[in-house]
Amino acid sequence: MLEPKRRKFRNDFRGRMRGKSIRGSSLAFGEYGLKALGAGWLSSRQIEAGRRAITHSLKKGGRLWIRVFPDKPVTSRPAGQRMGGGKGEFDRYVVVITPGKIIFEVAGISQDLVRLVFAKAAAKLPFKSKIVSREEEG
């Protein structure tokens, strides 16, 4: 699973997910990409599930790039615990996704296989997404 090696501070505030993604909203490496249409937190487990679905469908052809990295720690408290006692213990790492962010990119495979591969990966994500290609952008 993806997670930072070190952090300056252990906990973060929750923050807001306002606006659209400007950085990371265009293809940089591959021919096709999976672009987020909604906002939300994408956990390292969900990224790994999408990656495994894509690499399993790619067989030995094609190349995959993961364009997001979970660097935001999320804390949680055990169920049934009373108020107070400070912020909860560390639970998982997430990446904040805003609409327009490219999550995965692939190259070296046919367009039919891209649809199949990204449909499997999109099923693992907590928001809607769409497939973009280099021809559409350029």
The pLDDT mean for the chain works out to 94
**Whole-number pLDDT of residue 54:** 96
Task: Supply the pLDDT for residue 60.
Answer: 86
Say whether pLDDT at 59 is over 70: yes
Mean pLDDT calculated for residue range 78-95: 92
Mean pLDDT of 105-119: 95
What is the reported pLDDT for 138? 65
pLDDT tens track for 30-48: 999 999 999 999 999 999 9
CATH topology of domain 32-75+91-137: Aldehyde Oxidoreductase; domain 3 (3.90.1170)
Under 8 Å CB-to-CB from 66, ≥6 apart: which residues? 2, 47, 51, 103, 104
Rounded percentage of the chain residues whose pLDDT exceeds 90: 86
Contact assessment for residue 9 and residue 72, using Cβ atoms and an 8 Å cutoff: no
Strand partners, 49: none
Beta bridge partners of 76: 89
Domain locations along the chain: 32-75+91-137
Q: What integer pLDDT is reported at residue 136 of this predicted model?
A: 78
DSSP-derived 3-state class of residue 97:
strand
| Residue-wise pLDDT tens digits, 127-138 | 999 999 998 776
**Rounded distance, CA 33 to CA 5, Å?**
27
Distance CA 73, CA 23 (A): 21
